[in-house]
């Protein structure tokens, strides 16, 4: 078999390509109104096209691109979560408390349903239950991290292809989550007439990009201070993670960074003076980091991993996409209040229910750019998707994997 030449792309070159992908996606959004209409983010549009080019190069046996991106991607991921924490004022923490509980329950129910659906459809197609499980909440709600963590259990139980299926399913979920989240939000907002006619596109862009409604722009000092504060937040996050690990508590680094951001916000809320422009600057730093993280995550995807999926597995994965759209519309949106904030949170649930929290945030961001910002959604969704859902999903996965092993006669 002919070997494909591997082209290694360094960390900074990957960063450059991620930015170019965002620029290209933004250019296409300006030229193709449908992309804006259905709330498809620039990082998703440009990143997906780059990933397709990479796929063509691979199948043409020209070159296989290999990226060095994990360290710098984690940096931007953690900065984004720190900024999400910094957006949580005390009033928002109080208002979001009830919704966090409801959303946490919904996320756990979705994860359980994803596994039940996988086993049921897998049974119809006579697929090994352990393989079917690799299309449930392991790669969907769990993403690539859970796919890599739980697939070896299925491999040890005799399902030798479990790892390949789980990674391919996680990639499929990431792509589909990026594609369907925005259109879902657009559909809910239009159907229930939740758009605010007093806000036009320019005013919405101003609100998200950090421009005050009074027309006052952020100064250089506020932006620099925001970057410094986010560096402090992620440093605190690292210290907290290490400290908790010493007492056998494994808290993900991005969740610790979010706590760091919350502490910074609480400090400035108690400090005298008006800090609104600084808060907007921290939001801008978070948006910058999110765009780079999502773009790098997409351009580095190996789409050819999906080519090995058989018809039965494609049906299993498509069923997950259809199911989550119904779930988030009929349950998440309605039980969280049926208002504009609930619509944006339904988009977020679709994102981390199919891929990962950054997918949630970037699709929510695309919806908010078209309509208006939802501070509540941007606080609640990272708390659930980034932390609570990881815990409940791990418990649910363990129970379902034990059941799948029982079905195949493995102790």
- 340 versus 149: which is more confidently predicted? 340
**Mean pLDDT value of segment 58-67:** 93
Contact (CB, 8 A) for 382 and 102: no
Contact (CB, 8 A) for 18 and 295: yes
Tell me the percentage of the chain whose pLDDT exceeds 90.
Answer: 50
Model confidence, pTM: 0.79
Residue 67 has pLDDT above 70, yes or no: yes
- 161 versus 135: which is more confidently predicted? 135
Residue 391 has pLDDT above 90, yes or no: no
Q: What was the pLDDT predicted at 386?
A: 67
Torsion angle defined by CA atoms of residues 351, 354, 357 and 359, in that order, rounded to the nearest 10 degrees: -50
Q: What was the pLDDT predicted at 242?
A: 93
Q: What is the per-residue pLDDT across 232-272, written as a single tens digit (0 to 9) for each?
A: 999 999 999 999 889 887 777 887 898 899 899 999 988 98
H-helix or E-strand spanning residue 7: strand 6-9
Task: Quickly list H helices, 192-275.
Answer: 201-209, 220-245, 253-270
**Mean pLDDT value of segment 296-311:** 82
Q: What was the pLDDT predicted at 61?
A: 92
**Mean pLDDT value of segment 359-368:** 89
Question: Measured between alpha carbons, how far apart are the two ends of the chain, in Å?
Answer: 39
Q: Which long-range contacts does 307-315 make (Cβ < 8 Å, 24+ apart)?
A: 308/164, 308/168, 309/165, 309/168, 309/169, 309/172, 312/122, 312/125, 312/127, 313/127, 313/131, 313/135, 313/165, 313/168, 313/169, 315/121, 315/125
**Segment among 52-56, 273-277, 397-401 with least mean pLDDT:** 273-277
Residue 66, SS3?
A: strand
**Mean pLDDT value of segment 304-328:** 89
Q: What was the pLDDT predicted at 200?
A: 39
Q: What was the pLDDT predicted at 215?
A: 47
**Mean pLDDT value of segment 22-44:** 91
Domain ranges of the chain: 6-407
DSSP letter for each residue of 83-148: HHHHT--HHHHHHHHHHHHHHHHHHHHHHHHHHHHHHHHHHHTT--HHHHGGGTTTTTTTHHHHHH
Residue 274: pLDDT band with limits 50, 70, 90: confident
Using CA atoms, how far apart are residues 411 and 407, in angstroms rounded to an integer? 10
**Mean pLDDT value of segment 46-67:** 93
H-helix or E-strand spanning residue 216: none
Residue 210 has pLDDT above 80, yes or no: no
**Mean pLDDT value of segment 4-9:** 92
Residue 161: pLDDT band with limits 50, 70, 90: confident
Q: What was the pLDDT predicted at 198?
A: 59
Residue 209 has pLDDT above 80, yes or no: no
Q: What was the pLDDT predicted at 316?
A: 94
Name 67's bridge partners.
Answer: 9
Selection from 361, 383, 373 nearest residue 294 by Cα: 361
Q: What was the pLDDT predicted at 303?
A: 84
**Mean pLDDT value of segment 47-69:** 93
Q: What was the pLDDT predicted at 197?
A: 54
Angle, helices 253-270/276-299, rounded to nearest 10 degrees = 170
Using CA atoms, how far apart are residues 255 and 82, in angstroms rounded to an integer? 8
Using CA atoms, how far apart are residues 138 and 155, in angstroms rounded to an integer? 14
């Amino acid at each position: 078999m002919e070997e494909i030449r591997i082209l290694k792309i360094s960390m900074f070159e990957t960063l450059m390509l991620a930015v170019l992908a965002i620029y290209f996606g933004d250019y296409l959004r300006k030229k193709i109104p449908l992309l804006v209409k259905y709330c498809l983010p620039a990082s998703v549009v440009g990143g997906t096209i780059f990933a397709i080019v990479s796929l063509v190069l691979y199948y043409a046996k020209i070159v296989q691109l290999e990226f060095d991106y994990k360290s710098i991607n984690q940096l931007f991921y953690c900065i984004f979560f720190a900024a999400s924490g910094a957006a949580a004022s005390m009033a928002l923490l109080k208002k979001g408390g009830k919704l966090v509980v409801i959303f946490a329950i919904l996320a756990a129910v979705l994860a359980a349903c994803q596994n039940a659906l996988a086993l049921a459809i897998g049974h119809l197609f006579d697929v090994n239950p352990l393989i079917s499980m690799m299309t449930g909440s392991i790669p969907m709600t769990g993403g690539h991290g859970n796919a890599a963590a739980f697939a070896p259990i299925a491999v040890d139980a005799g399902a030798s292809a479990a790892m390949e299926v789980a990674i391919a399913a996680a990639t499929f979920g990431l792509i589909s989550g990026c594609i369907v989240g925005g259109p879902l939000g657009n559909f809910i907002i239009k159907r229930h007439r939740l758009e605010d006619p007093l806000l036009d596109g320019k005013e919405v862009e101003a609100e998200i990009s950090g421009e005050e409604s009074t027309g006052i722009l952020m100064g250089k000092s506020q932006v620099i201070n925001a970057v410094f504060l986010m560096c402090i937040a992620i440093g605190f996050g690292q210290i907290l993670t290490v400290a908790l690990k010493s007492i056998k508590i494994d808290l993900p680094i991005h969740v610790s960074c979010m706590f760091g951001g919350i502490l910074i916000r609480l400090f400035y809320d108690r400090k005298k003076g008006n800090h609104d422009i600084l808060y907007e600057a921290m939001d801008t730093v978070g948006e910058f980091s999110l765009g780079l993280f999502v773009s790098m995550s997409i351009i580095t995807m190996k789409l050819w991993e999906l080519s090995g999926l058989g018809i039965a597995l494609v049906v299993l994965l498509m069923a997950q996409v259809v199911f989550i759209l119904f779930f988030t519309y009929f349950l998440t949106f309605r039980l969280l209040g049926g208002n504009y904030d609930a619509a944006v949170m339904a988009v977020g649930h679709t994102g981390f229910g199919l891929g990962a929290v950054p997918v949630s945030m970037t699709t929510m961001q695309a919806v908010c750019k078209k309509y208006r910002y939802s501070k509540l959604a941007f606080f609640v969704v990272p708390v659930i998707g980034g932390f609570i859902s990881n815990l409940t999903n791990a418990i649910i996965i363990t129970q379902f994997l034990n059941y799948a092993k029982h079905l195949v006669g493995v102790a």
